[in-house]
């Protein structure tokens, strides 16, 4: 082990001991109910992690590798192709066409009384910035306008965010017989002027929120920060504050069960070199001034590595007795963005913001009490399922908690995680893609995938088992009997699902493999 790596490990161990002593937990007794720690990466496809075994090159991620060895790595797990819809799906357990959050939310800086981004310190690394749909012109710096979420004059209006009437995940956890303490840290991106804006995380049920309200910090090194509705200026490194605030809050919970939502800015653009003390590989030797639109991949991978180091920091600062009673759930809100130059064999034209696997196929790694180590399962799942899964891991009953009039799409993956359920509760998974004028619906089963253009009704049909990167769409007028059967089945499920829009309290018949799945 290098001297540098040894020093970092010693620092992490010392930080854990300091937090343990400061909390006064010399003899921690685990709460009856488990704690739940959700770690959210921003714009991270499966091809970026060595644990998934198909991308090249991949980031150095020893902590995520260890998390996968200690628990379950799930394949065939989908998010929405963009961030706000995924986050809304997790928080509500409902598809985007029900919540109205079908694309990224805008950034209403004016409502916060903010007109200019903060001035970055001289020590900050160079950043390569992008608008929502592409690189900014040469020499143009990041502005609040470029963070606003506006796409172009032909784009549909941006959504208002989840309605204040939505029943949200942290509310459900607080409604249990033994209520959970709930905290959210880092990126939120679900608040607008229509639902409470800077107060939205608290209105959604979080006791404590410390982070930034929109798609990302003004800069990773200087940003407008919100703590429970109060706006302030923050400097340093955004993800470091996220980890520090989360660790402090967690270590103040004592023996009360808690749910912590920790959402990183990395590896979302702007592309930059993170602080080198977070880089244990040769990425620490990158020239911070050499990052450019034509040279983003090594810096993107360094951002993934920095996030992994900070995950290690956070886990290292939680007392072992607490960690032993904690489910750790790591996932990403969508696939890698094209301007990060995703590792091969991912096609950079079929990534974040598109209906292809590079846009929706994201990591899901879970460890915790009762989850056998070293598992890997190819089970269909969607970020919407984390709603029911987390409630059941917290020993709650979804059918008793969620209001009867709420149409829920979430099915619990608890049996996949804790029991030897090799098939999972789903026989299909569905997502929506909306970015600017481009809108698609996508649905797949174990083997096949159907993409429908909502504007033109054009369709693409793929055999994912033999064509996982969607390079060869099947000709719809030349399908075999087996292909036609799968196409017809997916089209039927898709049609019935969309016909349920706006309905409440009715069971969803198609798509669930067993009668015990949650569907109302």
Secondary-structure percent of the chain, ordered helix, strand, coil, rounded to 5 = 30, 20, 50
pTM over 0.85: yes
- pLDDT attached to residue 144: 62
Mean pLDDT, residues 253-272 taken together: 95
Q: What gap in Å lies between CA 327 and CA 366, rounded to an integer? A: 7
Alpha helices in 153-199 (DSSP H): 169-174
Confidence at 155, pLDDT banded by 50, 70, 90: low
Beta pairing, strands 258-263 & 181-187:
parallel
Considering only residues 312 and 19, tell me which one the structure prediction assigns the higher pLDDT: 312
Q: What gap in Å lies between CA 191 and CA 178, rounded to an integer? A: 28
Task: Decide if pLDDT at 519 tops 60.
Answer: no
Confidence at 129, pLDDT banded by 50, 70, 90: confident
* In-domain check, residue 394: yes
513 token code pair = 């493999």
- CA 49-51-55 angle, 5° bins: 50
User: Using an 8 Å Cβ cutoff, are 187 and 42 in contact?
Assistant: yes
Phi and psi at 38, nearest 5°, equal -105, 125
State which residues form the domain around 132.
3-24+33-427
- Which tens digit of pLDDT belongs to each residue from 158-169? 789 999 999 999
488 token code pair = 């017809």
Q: What gap in Å lies between CA 427 and CA 416, rounded to an integer? A: 14
* In-domain check, residue 86: yes
- pLDDT attached to residue 350: 97
Neighbours of 15 (CB within 10 A): 16
Task: Decide if pLDDT at 503 tops 90.
Answer: no
Q: What gap in Å lies between CA 257 and CA 4, rounded to an integer? A: 36
Confidence at 502, pLDDT banded by 50, 70, 90: low
- Which tens digit of pLDDT belongs to each residue from 430-439? 999 998 888 9
- pLDDT attached to residue 113: 93
* In-domain check, residue 464: no
123 token code pair = 């020590």
Domain count, the chain: 1
Task: State the maximum Cα–Cα separation within the chain, in Å, rounded to a whole number.
Answer: 69
Task: Decide if pLDDT at 131 tops 90.
Answer: no
- pLDDT attached to residue 60: 98
Task: Decide if pLDDT at 354 tops 70.
Answer: yes
User: Using an 8 Å Cβ cutoff, are 518 and 391 in contact?
Assistant: no
Burial class from Cβ neighbours inside 10 Å (0-12, 13-18, 19+) for residue 502 reads exposed
Task: Decide if pLDDT at 237 tops 90.
Answer: yes
Q: Is the peptide bond before 267 cis (omega within 30 degrees of 0)?
A: yes
Task: Decide if pLDDT at 184 tops 80.
Answer: yes
* In-domain check, residue 467: no
Handedness of CA 407, 411, 414, 419 (dihedral sign): positive
- Which tens digit of pLDDT belongs to each residue from 91-104? 999 999 999 999 99
Neighbours of 162 (CB within 10 A): 28
- Spatial CA neighbour of 183 closest among 125, 121, 228, 229: 228
User: Using an 8 Å Cβ cutoff, are 48 and 342 in contact?
Assistant: yes
- pLDDT attached to residue 419: 82
- Which tens digit of pLDDT belongs to each residue from 270-301? 999 999 999 999 999 999 999 998 999 999 99
Q: What is the mean pLDDT of the chain?
A: 88
Percent of the chain with pLDDT over 70: 86
* In-domain check, residue 452: no
* In-domain check, residue 469: no
Burial class from Cβ neighbours inside 10 Å (0-12, 13-18, 19+) for residue 290 reads exposed
166: three-class secondary structure by DSSP: coil
Q: What is the 3-state secondary structure (H, E, C) of 244-282?
A: HHHHHHHCCCCCCCEEEEEECCCCCCCECCCCHHHCCCH
Mean pLDDT, residues 243-255 taken together: 96
Task: Write the DSSP string, 119-174.
Answer: PPPTTSPP-B-EETTEEPPTTPPP-TTTTS----TTSPPPP--S-TTS--HHHHHH
Mean pLDDT, residues 470-495 taken together: 98
* In-domain check, residue 465: no
Question: Which region among 82-91, 425-434, 437-446, 506-515 has the lowest average model confidence (pLDDT)?
Answer: 506-515
Task: Decide if pLDDT at 9 tops 50.
Answer: no
Task: Decide if pLDDT at 505 tops 50.
Answer: no
CATH of the domain at 213: 3.40.720.10
Task: Decide if pLDDT at 114 tops 70.
Answer: yes
* In-domain check, residue 468: no
- pLDDT attached to residue 117: 87
What's the chain's length in residues?
520
Q: What gap in Å lies between CA 385 and CA 15, rounded to an integer? A: 34
Neighbours of 292 (CB within 10 A): 12
User: Using an 8 Å Cβ cutoff, are 373 and 70 in contact?
Assistant: yes
- pLDDT attached to residue 5: 40
């Amino acid at each position: 082990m290098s001297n540098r790596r040894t020093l970092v490990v010693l620092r992490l161990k010392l930080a854990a001991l300091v937090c343990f002593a400061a909390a006064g937990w010399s003899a921690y007794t685990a709460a009856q109910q488990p704690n739940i720690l959700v770690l959210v990466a921003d714009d991270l496809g499966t091809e970026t992690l060595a644990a998934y075994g198909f991308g090249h090159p991949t980031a150095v991620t020893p902590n995520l590798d260890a998390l996968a060895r200690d628990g379950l790595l799930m394949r065939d797990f989908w998010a929405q192709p963009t961030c706000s819809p995924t986050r809304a799906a997790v928080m509500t357990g409902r598809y985007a066409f029900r919540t109205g959050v079908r694309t990224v939310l805008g950034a209403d800086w004016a409502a916060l009384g903010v007109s200019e981004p903060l001035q970055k310190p001289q020590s900050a690394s160079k950043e390569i910035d992008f608008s929502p749909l592409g690189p900014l012109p040469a020499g143009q710096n990041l502005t609040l306008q470029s963070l606003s979420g506006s796409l172009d004059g032909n784009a549909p209006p941006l959504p208002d965010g989840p309605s204040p009437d939505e029943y949200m995940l942290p509310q459900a956890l607080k409604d249990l017989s033994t209520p959970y303490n709930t905290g959210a840290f880092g990126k939120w991106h679900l608040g607008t002027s229509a639902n409470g804006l800077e107060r939205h995380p608290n209105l959604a049920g979080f006791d404590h929120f410390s982070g930034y309200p929109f798609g990302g910090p003004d800069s990773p090194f200087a940003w407008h920060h919100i703590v429970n509705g109060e706006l302030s200026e923050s400097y340093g490194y955004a993800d470091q504050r996220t980890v520090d605030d989360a660790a402090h809050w967690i270590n103040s919970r004592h023996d009360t069960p808690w749910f912590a939502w920790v959402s990183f800015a990395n590896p979302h653009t702007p592309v930059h070199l993170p602080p080198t003390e977070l880089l244990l590989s040769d990425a620490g030797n990158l020239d911070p001034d050499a990052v450019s639109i034509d040279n983003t991949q090594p810096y993107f991978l360094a951002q993934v590595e920095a996030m992994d180091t900070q995950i290690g920091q956070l886990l290292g600062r939680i007392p072992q007795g607490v960690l032993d009673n904690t489910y750790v759930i790591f996932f990403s809100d969508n696939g890698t963005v094209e301007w990060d130059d995703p590792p091969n064999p991912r096609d950079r034209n079929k990534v974040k913001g598109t209906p292809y696997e590079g846009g929706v196929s994201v990591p899901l790694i879970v460890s915790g009490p009762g989850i056998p180590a070293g598992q890997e399962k190819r089970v269909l799942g969607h970020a919407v399922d984390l709603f029911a899964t987390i409630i059941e891991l917290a020993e709650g009953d979804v059918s008793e908690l969620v209001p009867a009039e709420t149409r829920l799409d979430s099915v619990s993956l608890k049996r996949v995680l804790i029991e030897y359920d090799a098939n999972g509760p789903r026989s299909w998974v569905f997502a929506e893609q909306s970015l600017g004028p481009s809108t698609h619906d996508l649905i797949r089963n174990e083997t096949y995938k159907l993409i429908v253009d909502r504007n033109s009704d054009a369709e693409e049909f793929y055999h994912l088992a033999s064509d996982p990167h969607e390079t060869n769409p099947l000709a719809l007028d030349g399908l075999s009997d087996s292909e036609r059967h799968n196409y017809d089945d997916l089209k039927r499920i898709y049609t019935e699902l969309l016909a349920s829009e706006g309905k409440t309290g009715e069971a969803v018949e198609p798509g669930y493999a067993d009668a015990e799945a949650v569907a109302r």
